[in-house]
Amino acid sequence: AQSVTQLDSHVSVSEGTPVLLRCNYSSSYSPSLFWYVQHPNKGLQLLLKYTSAATLVKGINGFEAEFKKSETSFHLTKPSAHMSDAAEYFCVVRWNQAGTALIFGKGTTLSVSS
Partner 1 sequence: EPEVTQTPSHQVTQMGQEVILRCVPISNHLYFYWYRQILGQKVEFLVSFYNNEISEKSEIFDDQFSVERPDGSNFTLKIRSTKLEDSAMYFCASSSGQGDTDTQYFGPGTRLTVL
Q: Which is nearer to partner 1, 81 or 107 (CB)?
A: 107
Could you list the beta-strand ranges (E) of the chain. 3-6, 10-14, 19-21, 23-26, 32-38, 44-50, 56-58, 64-68, 73-78, 87-94, 103-104, 108-113
CB of 32 to partner 1, least distance (A): 6
Residues 39-58, one symbol each (x = binds partner 1 by CB under 8 A, - = not), give ---xxxxx--x-xx------
Q: Which residues of this chain interact with partner 1, rule CB under 8 A?
A: 32, 34, 36, 42-46, 49, 51-52, 90, 94, 98-107
